Every structure is written in structure tokens, then in C-alpha cells.
């Protein structure tokens, strides 16, 4: 096939396809189990976390089925509580956080022009810790999964109220995945700090790498808090300590502070890499440089810094001094400023571009439109007198699903469609991709928009039954129908990915005419990533390389300057 | 191969479809549910000034939020529409614009500042209890408990009820002017209060965490073991009736069924209700005394070998004394 010349760049349809053989992935499973290649580990991360996404999704549908009609008796109260706990835990600890590490593992070394991560063996360790954590947690379905929600508040999670092993399995999940993330974070940090290609200064680091760096720093700072929290819970449960027991001088508020000191940064840990993906995808499909690179990188750091200072906004209804409430209200409201800067910069990137509507872009735009709503409802929750009405209701459930499902997951899907050709050498199907996007978008808004009203109408979260007061019956039915539409949309992408592995059109090294270095090498990249690493001269090294090639082809005779 | 090289001429259709899909989802929800019900848009209110003020604050922010939402989504969709790929179009290779960026940072900061100012203006009215109305229930001076004055109305007078969460019911203890908590009026599940009167609540828990919440009467207050939380409400005269709510913190398997009820009655009715409760407690106390005396007599008699002869009138046992208070749900 012909490679078009770069002079028609903006008019050239993408993808640019260059046919070549696609090397088949090895089928030798010992290779996979013992690998330290960041690309294989990245793939294993992605496969495992998407599997957990499926499991968590089925749990979500069961929860929604139970809530479809008032006073439903499909599930008993015990099973229901176990399901919300497993759904929340799975989505947070086993899907959104590690899926970002999966993309990070695969693409950070490629984007910075390195041959592997700094510590390849520790990298493998991170993955196996995650797998072990997931295995320990899901083993509990054979005895008694925990019933305390993913926040496992004491005293409910103490031995007096939940004596069986489910909570312990949860504690070990937090420990194991925590160690995995911590090791992985140190690895990311060292890799990005030390192994960048020649010429890639900090101000030329791809934005996705900036967000993975921030993700790592946040994990390193926040994980010790949750590690401490669950260790104290473990000794309370089994060794007779009383850290959380007020009758013995302990405090249940201590748990909440420690948990949310981790838990709030965790939210940014989940969405920041998503921001990074969006910042990579938008400029490519608008055929324009990212608008305000420095502002986006700086706002990422600002959000991370402020994100560490707002944890107690999850605790506005607890008995806390007014000055505490005011401090956390103000710091939470401040976060909307850097977030606003990001959103404006993204729209600025689209402005005066020539926007090509391929599936990665659709998901990125879906992210933008949806995340905005999640961000705005966050302001309502940050204002503590208003939060007194909204806290622990379906308004909150709607808010965090707008952020996590509409934000992080849409970004992840954008990244999946965008990078699939690099990882597999084949394109995903465009038609199925579009069908999946529209189904997901409609399903998503139908599910979660109305949940704001369910909460405003007075329905608390984490209840398996509700009376049909107000319009709760109708609202909940709409929400459940939406959840199933959403589920179908996700399924279409799953089918698309599996089918395209074999039948997708061959992608070639740079199907999107993208800007970053991962597109400089073959798809999928060879074991050592690059034959030679080019010198980086701007934020968009591939553009420079293409310009260089154009210059050479157009000027066959050497011209003296 | 050739096909995948073609750009599908979907851009216009895609933008149209996107706008209409979101509009459809929103419209469907609105049509099916929205206007029919006020609480579709804002939290419930109408039972207490603090709930009303939260509602006002929420509504102000909602207006600002809608403006921002329309502006930003509008800019987004306009950009998608206007700058969609067309043959011959060239993307402007622009890296940023410092003035513009400083401008929208300042704009965002200004909006946050406005919201903050509005909040701080509204805050005292939501947090601090109002005085009771003149025609409210006259709270005896002896009812005052030594509390942080900041948690009481300006004149220091409120009906201060102790709210205790337990799996899975609320227990309400009314003050009675003396400091011994033995014979206070107590109720489960349903709190009876006079209208026009400020009611302050001391919220506690004796097992796991719960959260006290009656949406129409204002925000929630978590009940944490080892702590006392505070909130208040004042149901206006003329709004007598029953207000309901649900425990809002996961407290175990029966969390969904841990309901709470506040029955508002006129101050006159409340005086009578309180007297009835007091009388019932006294009767129960007397009954218990009689019962114990009778027992003592019986014991004496049986020691004298006269146990075969039951004597005297049957004495009511304490548990059969009539009492308005319902039994805790936990015993169901
Ligand atoms: C696939 C579509 C999804 C649906 C239909 C769904 C639905 C639900 C429902 C019905 C609840 C229970 C709310 C309650 O009773 O309190 C819930 C809770 C939750 N969901 Fe999702 N969810 C979905 C995806 C996600 C994703 C992607 C995340 C990502 C992090 C997530 C995170 C959570 C969390 C953290 C909770 C709280 C669990 C708890 O209360 O302990 N969900 N979800
Ligand atoms: Cu409760
Ligand atoms: Cu509860």
C-alpha cells in the first residue's frame, strides 16, 4: 500500500495503513508466567483488570436488578451487602487503579524511548501481587465475603459485628494490592525520572507520562495510611488491641481519617491517568497540538497536591469541629479551579482543529461531556451544609459514577481503541466501536442521571429495599434499564477486541499519525522496543520525524545552507 | 485495506447523533419523571428552616452550575460541529495562549469565590438553631442541660432530645428537668415533637455507626459510638404531621429497615402527650413497687407455709402498663 506524503497530512484520512506481517504473540505460557518484559506484563495487567471489570459489572447488574422495583425480594440482605462490597472493592482496587498501571506499564517506556522499566523483576512482582490480592479476596466467596461496603467502616467491620473471615480477606486484598502498587509506583517514578530518551526534558515529557508520574507519587504518599488503617483493624480483630473501640479509649473516627486520607487521593489516582489518555488522544484526532501543555501538566500537579488535603470532605456528617469542616470545604472547592483549566484546555485543543471522528475520539469526547457533570456535582458535595442533605444518598452514587464510570472508564476505553493497534498490530473495528460508544453513552446517562434525583428524593445508598414513596419506583426502574443498556455497550467492545485480535485490519507502525515515540516502532513492538532511539527535539517527536522524512523525500539533492 | 483508509463521512452525523442521544436520555428522564416531582431538582425541604435554607443554597448553586454546564457543553459541541474534518480544512497549529489561559483561571477562581461567599452568608442560619416561636411550646427553665451554648438557640431554650441509634432502631429520651435519667419519657422509632418549637438533638450510638436523617427536617448527623453529634429542627405551626426518614449509614443487614419518624403535634397536644407519658411512667413505677411489695408478701407467706393460697387482687406487672411508646423494631 502506498504511504501518502506528509504534505497532504491534514487531508489524509487516518489511519495510515502500512501492511506488514503481524508477529503472533507467543503461546508458551511459561514465557508469560516468568516474563519481565514490560509489554507482556502490561498485557497481563490489562487482561486481568478487564476480567475483573466484567466480574464487577455482573455484580453491578445484580445490584440494579434487586433495586429495579420497590420491596424486591430477589436477593436477601446479606447477599446484597456482600455484593455492594465486592462491586466497590473490585472496581476500585482490582479494576480502575491497576488498569491504569497496565497502560502505564505498556506505554511509559515506549513513550519515553526506553527499552524497559527501571526494575523489570519488581515490575513482574507488582503484577503478581495484584493477582494474589484478587485471588485472596475472591476466595472469600467460598466462605463469607465482607458485608461492610468498600469503606469497611468500624465498628461494623470489627470482630464483634463481622466475626467471619470476609473482612480479613478484604484486609489482605488491601495489603497485597497495596504492596503491588507501591512497588509499581517506585518503578514508574524511577523509570520516568532516569530513562527518558536523549533530548526528552521534563517539558517534553508526554502528558500521559506526567499523569502516571503523579499517580505514582500519590500512591506512594497515600498507601501507607490505608496500610496502617487495615493493620490496626487486623490487630483489633485478632490480637486484642482496641484502636477503634471507644469503650477502651479507641476511636472509630480514626478509621475514617486514615481510610479517607488514602481514599480521596485514590479518586485522583483513578482519574488522573485518564486525564493523561485524553490529553494524548484529543490532539491526534483534532490534528492540532495540545492546547496549553504546561497548564495541563501544572494543573495535574496542583490537583494531586490539593487532592491530598481534602480527605475529610467524606466526613462532613460526623461530629467534627466547625473549623475542620470549613477547611475541608474550602480546599475541596479549590480543586475545581485546576480541573476547570484542564477542561478549557481540552476544548481549546479541539478549537480550530480538523476533528476526525474515530472511536478513540468519541470516547474522549464522551469523557469530557460526562466528567464535567461529575465535577459540577462535586461542588455541591464540597459545600458541607448541602452535603448534609446529599451525603450517603444516591446523589453521591450518581456523582462518583459520573467521575469513575463516565470519567475514568470512558478514558480507559478511549485508550483501548487508541492503543490496541500498537499492542496487537491490528485495528479494532470502527463500526462496532461506534455502536459500543453510543450504547454506552445512552446507557450510562440513563442509569446515572436519574440517580441524582433518587438521592434528592431521600433514598440512602446501600439499601436493598425501598418503599415506593415519591417516584422512587419509577426512577429506579429507569436506572436499572439504563444499566443493562450500558452492559450491552461494554459487551460490544469486548467482542470487538476479541474479534479484532484475529480479523482486524493490519495497523502498521503509526496508523493514527500520532505524536509520541511509541508510534516510532513496529506494532507490536519488538522485544527491545526500538532499533535506535531518535533524539527528541519537541513535545511531538513523531511530527519532527515525519517532517524530516518529508524534507528528505522532497529534496533529493542535498542543498547547502 | 483500502476501506479502512477512507474516512467515513460520519462527522456531521456523529455530532448530530451525539447531541440528540444525550438530549434523548435527558429528555426521557425529564418527561418520565421530572416536572411531576419537585424533589427531582433539589433536596427535600418544607419541614424546618434549616432544611429550607439548605434548599435555597442548593438552588443558588444549581443556577450557577446550570449556566456553567450549558456554557461548557455548548462550547464543546460547537467546537465538535464547527471544526469537524472537512476536505481542505487545515488545523491551526497553535500551542496555547497565555492571556486566554490566565483569563479562564481567573474566571474559575471568581466563580468559586462567589459560591464561597454565598455559602458563608447562608451557613450560620443552617448551623445555628433559631429561637422557638412565641406560640410554641413553653420549655420549662429546668429543662436546660449544660451544653455548649453555641449549639443552643440564642435564648438558650430548646427541647433537647437525646437520640440514640442502635441496630436497628432509634431511641428518643426526653428531658424532664432533673438530672437523673431514670424516669425520663422515652420513645422508640417515633419522635413526638411540638410545632413552633426548636428541637435540638444530641445524636449518639450504642453499637455501630448510624446516621440520623429526616430529609424534610434538614441535614443528617452521624451517630458514632463514643461521640455526640448535634443537629436541630423547628417544624412551623400549621405543618403538623408525620415526617419520615431512613438511617443513612450502612449499619448492618437491616440498615434499609432502620427508619425514623417524627410526629409533629401542636404545643397543646404535646403538653397533654407529655403528661400522659409521665403518668404512664409513674403508673409503671407504682405498679413495679406494688409488684415488689406483693412479691415480698408472697415470699413471707410461703415461708409461713401458706403458699397454696394466692391472695389479693392481681397486680399489673410493669410490662402491661399502657404506654404510647412502641416497642423497638429490633425485637420484631
Ligand atoms: C458498569 C456499570 C456500573 C453500574 C450499573 C454500577 C452500579 C452500582 C450500584 C447500583 C451501586 C450500589 C449503590 C449502593 O447501593 O450504595 C454501586 C456502588 C459502587 N460502585 Fe458501581 N456501578 C458500575 C460501575 C462502576 C465502576 C466502573 C466503578 C469504578 C470505580 C464503580 C464503583 C462503585 C463503588 C466504589 C461503589 C460503592 C460500593 C459501596 O457502597 O461500598 N462502579 N455501583
Ligand atoms: Cu442504622
Ligand atoms: Cu443504617
What does the H/E/C string look like for A323-334? HHHHHHHHHHHH
pLDDT for B39: 64
pLDDT for A470: 81
| Nearest atom, ligand 1, residue A85 CA | 41
| Nearest atom, ligand 1, residue A487 CA | 1
Ligand 1 pocket mutation pick from A52, A80, A83, A87 by most atoms within 8 angstroms of CB: A87
Can you give the three-state secondary structure of chain B, one letter per residue?
CHHHHCCCCCHHHHHHHHHHHHHHHHHHHHHHHCCCCHHHCCCCCCCCHHHHHHHHHHHHHHHHHHHHHHHHHHHHHHHHHHCECCCCCCCCCCCCCHHHHHHHHHHHHHHHHHHHHHHHHHHHHHHCCCCCCCCCCCCCHHHCCCCCHHHCCCCCCCEEEEEEEECCEEEEECCCCCCCCCCCCEEECEEEEECCCCEEEEEEECCCCEEECCHHHCCCEEECECCCEEEEECCCCCCCEEEEEECCCCCCCCHHHCEEEEEEECHHHHHHHHHHHHHHHHHHHHHHHHHHHHHHHHHHHHHCCCCCCCCCCCCCCHHHCCCCCCCCHHHC
HSE, CB side, 13 Å, CA atoms: give it for residue B99.
Answer: 0
**Cα dist. A81→A52, A152, A158, A219, B255 in Å?**
19, 11, 16, 28, 10
- β-strands B221-223, B229-233: how paired? unpaired
Residues of chain B contacting A438 with CB distance shorter than 8 Å: 17, 21
Q: Which of A417-431, A468-482, B35-49, B282-296 has the lowest mean pLDDT?
A: B35-49
B286 Cα: distance to centroid of ligand 1 (angstroms): 55
| pLDDT confidence tier of residue B10, bands split at 50, 70 and 90 | very low
Q: How many angstroms separate the CA atoms of B141 and A155, rounded?
A: 38
| pLDDT confidence tier of residue A507, bands split at 50, 70 and 90 | confident
pLDDT tens for each residue of A111-127? 999 999 999 999 999 99
**Cα dist. A178→A54, A229, A231, A308 in Å?**
22, 12, 12, 18
| pLDDT confidence tier of residue B145, bands split at 50, 70 and 90 | low
Name residue A132's beta-bridge partners: none
pLDDT for A487: 97
| Nearest atom, ligand 1, residue A149 CA | 41
B72 Cβ under 8 Å from any chain A Cβ: yes
Average pLDDT over residues B194-201: 95
Residue bearing the CA closest to ligand 1, atom 15: A462
Average pLDDT over residues A50-79: 96
pLDDT for A547: 87
Q: How far is CA A134 from the centre of its chain?
A: 17
Which one of B20, B94, B203 makes the best mutation probe of the A interface by having the most chain A beta carbons within 10 Å?
Answer: B94
| Nearest to A214, CA basis, from A127, A303, A125, A111 | A303
pLDDT for B317: 47
B326 contacts B263 by C-beta, under 8 angstroms? no
Q: How many angstroms separate the CA atoms of A372 and B66, rounded?
A: 11
Put simply, the answer to whether B89 touches A14 (Cβ < 8 Å) is no
pLDDT for B324: 41
pLDDT for B296: 84
Mean pLDDT computed over every residue of chain A: 91
Q: How many Å lie between the alpha carbon of B100 and the closest alpha carbon of chain A? A: 10
Can you give the three-state secondary structure of A389-429, one letter per residue?
HHCCEHHHHHHHHHHHHHHHHHHHHHHHHHHHHHHHCECCC
Ligand 1 pocket, residue A85 CB under 6 Å: yes
Using the CB atoms, write b or e for B204-241: b if 16+ within 10 Å.
Answer: bbebbbbbbbbbbbbbbbbbbbbbbbbbbbbbbbeebe
pLDDT for B148: 75
Ion ligand 3: residues, CB < 5 A:
B 247, 251, 255, 258
H or E, element range at A280: helix A252-286
| pLDDT confidence tier of residue A393, bands split at 50, 70 and 90 | very high
Residues of chain B contacting A387 with CB distance shorter than 8 Å: 219
pLDDT for A550: 84
Put simply, the answer to whether B219 touches A319 (Cβ < 8 Å) is no
Residues of chain A contacting B221 with CB distance shorter than 8 Å: 317, 319, 388
Q: Which of A43-47, A298-302, A549-553, B2-6 has the lowest mean pLDDT?
A: B2-6
B102 Cβ under 8 Å from any chain A Cβ: no
Residue A546 makes CB contacts below 8 A (sequence gap 6+) with A6, A9, A513
* DSSP state letter for A459: P
B218 contacts B50 by C-beta, under 8 angstroms? yes
Residue B38 makes CB contacts below 8 A (sequence gap 6+) with none
Average pLDDT over residues A344-348: 95
A403 contacts A328 by C-beta, under 8 angstroms? no
Put simply, the answer to whether A392 touches B248 (Cβ < 8 Å) is yes
B290 Cβ under 8 Å from any chain A Cβ: no
Residue bearing the CA closest to ligand 1, atom 36: A88
pLDDT tens for each residue of B254-306? 999 999 999 999 999 999 999 999 888 888 888 888 888 888 888 888 777 65
Mean pLDDT computed over every residue of chain B: 82
| pLDDT confidence tier of residue A11, bands split at 50, 70 and 90 | very low
Put simply, the answer to whether A13 touches B7 (Cβ < 8 Å) is yes
Q: How many Å lie between the alpha carbon of B292 and the closest alpha carbon of chain A? A: 34
B191 contacts B172 by C-beta, under 8 angstroms? yes
* DSSP state letter for A506: B
Average pLDDT over residues A278-288: 94
- β-strands B199-205, B159-166: how paired? parallel
| pLDDT confidence tier of residue B42, bands split at 50, 70 and 90 | confident
Ligand 1 pocket, residue A405 CB under 6 Å: yes
A242 contacts A249 by C-beta, under 8 angstroms? yes
Considering CB atoms only, which of B32, B41, B95 is closest to A293?
B95
B169 Cα: distance to centroid of ligand 2 (angstroms): 7
Higher pLDDT, A137 or A28: A137
| Nearest to A486, CA basis, from A60, A181, A161, A141 | A60
| pLDDT confidence tier of residue B2, bands split at 50, 70 and 90 | very low
Please classify residue B30 by burial: count the beta carbons closer than 10 Å to its beta carbon, then call 0-12 exposed, 13-18 middle and 19+ buried.
middle
Residue bearing the CA closest to ligand 1, atom 7: A60
Ligand 1 pocket, residue A152 CB under 6 Å: no
Ligand 1 pocket, residue A483 CB under 6 Å: yes
| Nearest to A434, CA basis, from B13, B38, B56 | B13
| pLDDT confidence tier of residue A431, bands split at 50, 70 and 90 | very high
What part of B 180-239 touches A (C-beta under 8 Å)? Answer: 207-209, 211, 213, 215, 218-222, 224-230
Ligand 1 pocket, residue A100 CB under 6 Å: no
Name residue B204's beta-bridge partners: B164
Taken in order A493, A363, A413, A176, the sign of the CA dihedral is negative
Higher pLDDT, B34 or B143: B143
Average pLDDT over residues A24-34: 78
Ligand 1 pocket, residue A461 CB under 6 Å: yes
Considering CB atoms only, which of A81, A337, A453 is closest to B112?
A337
Q: How many angstroms separate the CA atoms of B248 and A498, rounded?
A: 43
pLDDT tens for each residue of B55-82? 999 999 999 999 999 999 999 999 999 8
Ligand 1 pocket mutation pick from A49, A53, A55, A60 by most atoms within 8 angstroms of CB: A60
Which one of B109, B129, B248, B254 makes the best mutation probe of the A interface by having the most chain A beta carbons within 10 Å?
Answer: B248
| pLDDT confidence tier of residue A343, bands split at 50, 70 and 90 | very high
Considering CB atoms only, which of A353, A453, A505 is closest to B83?
A353
Average pLDDT over residues A363-387: 95
Residue with C-alpha cell 491490528? A426
Considering CB atoms only, which of B69, B80, B247 is closest to A355?
B80
Please write down the long-range contacts of B144-151, taking CB distance under 8 Å and 24 or more positions apart: B145/B175, B147/B202, B151/B200, B151/B230
**Cα dist. B60→A210, A355, A544, B53 in Å?**
37, 37, 50, 11
The CA angle B256-B257-B259, to the nearest 5 degrees, is 105
A152 Cα: distance to centroid of ligand 1 (angstroms): 15
B326 Cα: distance to centroid of ligand 3 (angstroms): 20
Higher pLDDT, B5 or B300: B300
Sheet holding B199-205, edge to edge: B186-188, B169-173, B159-166, B199-205, B229-233
% residues pLDDT > 90 (chain A) = 81
Closest listed ligand to the CA of A54: 1
| Nearest to A153, CA basis, from B249, B37, B270 | B249
User: How many CB atoms are located within 10 Å of the residue A59 CB?
Assistant: 20
Q: How many angstroms separate the CA atoms of B192 and B199, rounded?
A: 11
pTM: 0.89
Name residue A272's beta-bridge partners: none
Average pLDDT over residues A419-426: 94
pLDDT for A283: 95
pLDDT for A266: 92
Average pLDDT over residues A76-95: 96
**Cα dist. A392→A399, A470, A560, B202 in Å?**
11, 19, 72, 20
A407 contacts A453 by C-beta, under 8 angstroms? no
pLDDT for B1: 35
- Would you say residue B322 has pLDDT above 60? no
Q: Among all residues of chain A, which has the CA nearest to that of B3?
A: A505
% residues pLDDT > 70 (chain B) = 78
User: How many CB atoms are located within 10 Å of the residue B149 CB?
Assistant: 9
% residues pLDDT > 90 (chain B) = 52
Amino acid at each position: 500500500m502506498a504511504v501518502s506524503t506528509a504534505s497532504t497530512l491534514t487531508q489524509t484520512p487516518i489511519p495510515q495503513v502500512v501492511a506488514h506481517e503481524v508477529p503472533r504473540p507467543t503461546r508458551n505460557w511459561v514465557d508469560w508466567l516468568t516474563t519481565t518484559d514490560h509489554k507482556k506484563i502490561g498485557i497481563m495487567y490489562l487482561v486481568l483488570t478487564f476480567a475483573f471489570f466484567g466480574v464487577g459489572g455482573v455484580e453491578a447488574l445484580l445490584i440494579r436488578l434487586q433495586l429495579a422495583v420497590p420491596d424486591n425480594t430477589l436477593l436477601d440482605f446479606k447477599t446484597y451487602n456482600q455484593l455492594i462490597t465486592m462491586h466497590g472493592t473490585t472496581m476500585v482496587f482490582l479494576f480502575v487503579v491497576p488498569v491504569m498501571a497496565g497502560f502505564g506499564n505498556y506505554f511509559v517506556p515506549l513513550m519515553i524511548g526506553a527499552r524497559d522499566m527501571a526494575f523489570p523483576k519488581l515490575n513482574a512482582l507488582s503484577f503478581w501481587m495484584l493477582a494474589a490480592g484478587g485471588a485472596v479476596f475472591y476466595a472469600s466467596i467460598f466462605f463469607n465475603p465482607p458485608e461492610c461496603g468498600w469503606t469497611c467502616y468500624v465498628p461494623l467491620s470489627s470482630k464483634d459485628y463481622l466475626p467471619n473471615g470476609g473482612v480479613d480477606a478484604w484486609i489482605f486484598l488491601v495489603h497485597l494490592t497495596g504492596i503491588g502498587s507501591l512497588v509499581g509506583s517506585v518503578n514508574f517514578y524511577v523509570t520516568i525520572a532516569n530513562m527518558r530518551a536523549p533530548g526528552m526534558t521534563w517539558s517534553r515529557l508526554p502528558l500521559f507520562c506526567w499523569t502516571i508520574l503523579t499517580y505514582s507519587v500519590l500512591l506512594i504518599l497515600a498507601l501507607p495510611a490505608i496500610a496502617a488503617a487495615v493493620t490496626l483493624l487486623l490487630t483489633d480483630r485478632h490480637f486484642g488491641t482496641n484502636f477503634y473501640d471507644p469503650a477502651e479509649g479507641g476511636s472509630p473516627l480514626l478509621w475514617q481519617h486514615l481510610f479517607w486520607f488514602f481514599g480521596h487521593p485514590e479518586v485522583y489516582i483513578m482519574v488522573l491517568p485518564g486525564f493523561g489518555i485524553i490529553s494524548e488522544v484529543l490532539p491526534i484526532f483534532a490534528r492540532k497540538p495540545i492546547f496549553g501543555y504546561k497548564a495541563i501538566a501544572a494543573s495535574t500537579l496542583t490537583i494531586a497536591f490539593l487532592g491530598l488535603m481534602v480527605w475529610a470532605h467524606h466526613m462532613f456528617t460526623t461530629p467534627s469541629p466547625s473549623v475542620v469542616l470549613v477547611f475541608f470545604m474550602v480546599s475541596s472547592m479549590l480543586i475545581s479551579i485546576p480541573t476547570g483549566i484542564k477542561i478549557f484546555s481540552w476544548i481549546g485543543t479541539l478549537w480550530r482543529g480538523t476533528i476526525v471522528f474515530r472511536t478513540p475520539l468519541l470516547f474522549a469526547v464522551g469523557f469530557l461531556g460526562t466528567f464535567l457533570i461529575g465535577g459540577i456535582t462535586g461542588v455541591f458535595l464540597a459545600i458541607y451544609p448541602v452535603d448534609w442533605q446529599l451525603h450517603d444518598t444516591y446523589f453521591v452514587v450518581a456523582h462518583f459514577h459520573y467521575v469513575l464510570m463516565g470519567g475514568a472508564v470512558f478514558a480507559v476505553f478511549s485508550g483501548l481503541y487508541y492503543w490496541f493497534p500498537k499492542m496487537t498490530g491490528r485495528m479494532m473495528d470502527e463500526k462496532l466501536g461506534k455502536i459500543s460508544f453510543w450504547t454506552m453513552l445512552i446507557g450510562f446517562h440513563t442509569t446515572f442521571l436519574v440517580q441524582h434525583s433518587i438521592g434528592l428524593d431521600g433514598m440512602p445508598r446501600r439499601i436493598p429495599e425501598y418503599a415506593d414513596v415519591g417516584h422512587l419506583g419509577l426512577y429506579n426502574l429507569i436506572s436499572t434499564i439504563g444499566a443493562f443498556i450500558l452492559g450491552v455497550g461494554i459487551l460490544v467492545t469486548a467482542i470487538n477486541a476479541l474479534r479484532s485480535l484475529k480479523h482486524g485490519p493490519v495497523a502498521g507502525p503509526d496508523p493514527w499519525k500520532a505524536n509520541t515515540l511509541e508510534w516510532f516502532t513496529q506494532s507490536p513492538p519488538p522485544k527491545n522496543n526500538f532499533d535506535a532511539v531518535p533524539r527528541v527535539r519537541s513535545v511531538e517527536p513523531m511530527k519532527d520525524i515525519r517532517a524530516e522524512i518529508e524534507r528528505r523525500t522532497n529534496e533529493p539533492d542535498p542543498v547547502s545552507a | 485495506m483500502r476501506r479502512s483508509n477512507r474516512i467515513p463521512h460520519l462527522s456531521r452525523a456523529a455530532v448530530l447523533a451525539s447531541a440528540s442521544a444525550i438530549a434523548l436520555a435527558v429528555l426521557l428522564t425529564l418527561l418520565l419523571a421530572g416536572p411531576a416531582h419537585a424533589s427531582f431538582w433539589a433536596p427535600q425541604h418544607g419541614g424546618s428552616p434549616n432544611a429550607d435554607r439548605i434548599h435555597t443554597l442548593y438552588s443558588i448553586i444549581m443556577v450557577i452550575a446550570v449556566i456553567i454546564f450549558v456554557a461548557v457543553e455548548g462550547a464543546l459541541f460547537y467546537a465538535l460541529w464547527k471544526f469537524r474534518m472537512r476536505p481542505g480544512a487545515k488545523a491551526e497549529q497553535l500551542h496555547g495562549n497565555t492571556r486566554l489561559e490566565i483569563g479562564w483561571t481567573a474566571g474559575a477562581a471568581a466563580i468559586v469565590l462567589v459560591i464561597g461567599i454565598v455559602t458563608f452568608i447562608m451557613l450560620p442560619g443552617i448551623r445555628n438553631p433559631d429561637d422557638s416561636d412565641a406560640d410554641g411550646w413553653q420549655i420549662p427553665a429546668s429543662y436546660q442541660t449544660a451544653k455548649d451554648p453555641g449549639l443552643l438557640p440564642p435564648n438558650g431554650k430548646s427541647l433537647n432530645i437525646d437520640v440514640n441509634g442502635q441496630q436497628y432502631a432509634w431511641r428518643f429520651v426526653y428531658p424532664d428537668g432533673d438530672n437523673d435519667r431514670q424516669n425520663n419519657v422515652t420513645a422508640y422509632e417515633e419522635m413526638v415533637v411540638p410545632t413552633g418549637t426548636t428541637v435540638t438533638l444530641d445524636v449518639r450510638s450504642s453499637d455501630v455507626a448510624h446516621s440520623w436523617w429526616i430529609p424534610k427536617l434538614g441535614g443528617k448527623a452521624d451517630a458514632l459510638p463514643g461521640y455526640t453529634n448535634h443537629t436541630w429542627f423547628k417544624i412551623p405551626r400549621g405543618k403538623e404531621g408525620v415526617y419520615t426518614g431512613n438511617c443513612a449509614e450502612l449499619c448492618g443487614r437491616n440498615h434499609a429497615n432502620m427508619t425514623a419518624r417524627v410526629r409533629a403535634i401542636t404545643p397543646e397536644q404535646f403538653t397533654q402527650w407529655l403528661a400522659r407519658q409521665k403518668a404512664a411512667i409513674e403508673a409503671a413505677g407504682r405498679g413495679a413497687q406494688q409488684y415488689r411489695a406483693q412479691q415480698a408478701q408472697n415470699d413471707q407467706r410461703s415461708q409461713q407455709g401458706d403458699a397454696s393460697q394466692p391472695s389479693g387482687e392481681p397486680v399489673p406487672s410493669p410490662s402491661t402498663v399502657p404506654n404510647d411508646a412502641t416497642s423497638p423494631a429490633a425485637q420484631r
